[in-house]
Amino acid sequence: MLNFNHEDIMKMSKIFRLNLINSLTGYKSANLIATKTDEKINNVAIFSSVTHLGSKPPLIGFITRPTTVPRNTYENILNHKYFTLNQITKTQIKSAHKTSAKFPKKISEFDKTDLDYEFKNNFQAPFVKNSPIQVGCKFLNKYDIKENGTILIVGEIKLVLIKDELLLEDGMLQLDKGNIVSINGLDGYALPKLIKRFLYARPD
């Protein structure tokens, strides 16, 4: 096997190191986070750091990068307190990836891609149309990660909208039924398939 120590990693070129370290943790969820600006411009950006934090209360978290440059999604969430998570399908990956570009705050990514927004159930942030799983969240807290300047955003799930065929009898969502993709590294998109489910694991 190839062998890299910490010194080797730190000496790597920036792009090689970014690709390597971002791939090490395996496949990641692919979510479009949608918000709106003070001027009511609808903003959307792709995130691969969304994670489950708990189910009672239902909480999610995601990491945003350091605010040494403008972070529109982060600012919008702090200002308006509401945002949505929208799972990405195979047909949306080109447009979803384009939202990672650094558009000015007054430019809506919806206008620069084939993605469309929609408002539902009087929720205060836009959803991504045709996303098979749409989650409305309210901002609860943020935690500064001093080691590298990133920020953990914690949100409470307030609304869940799911395509019927994804929901199984026991509450699990079978994502491959919706052609929902994951992210490999920074810019690779994969289409996982459920292999097998097991019973709850017990020592005996």
Q: What is the pLDDT of residues 121-144, one digit of tens each?
A: 999 999 999 999 999 999 999 999
Query: How do residues 13-46 score in pLDDT, each as one tens digit?
Result: 999 999 999 999 999 999 999 999 888 899 999 9
Sign of CA dihedral 63, 64, 65, 67: negative
pLDDT bucket at 191, cuts 50 / 70 / 90? very high
8 A C-beta contact, residue 45 and residue 97: no
Query: How do residues 81-117 score in pLDDT, each as one tens digit?
Result: 999 999 999 999 999 999 999 999 899 999 999 999 9
Please give the average per-residue pLDDT across 176-190, as a whole number.
Answer: 97
Task: Kindly state the DSSP code that residue 92 receives in the 8-state scheme.
Answer: G
Helices (H) and strands (E) in the chain, counts: 5, 12
Residue 100: count other Cβ atoms within 10 Å of its Cβ: 14
Q: Give the chain's mean pLDDT.
A: 96
Identify the architecture of domain 27-187 in CATH.
Roll (2.30)
Query: How do residues 163-174 score in pLDDT, each as one tens digit?
Result: 999 999 999 999
pLDDT bucket at 70, cuts 50 / 70 / 90? confident
Check pLDDT > 90 for residue 67: no
Q: How far apart are CA 119 and CA 204, in angstroms?
A: 49
Give the domain ranges of the chain. Answer: 27-187
pTM equals 0.94
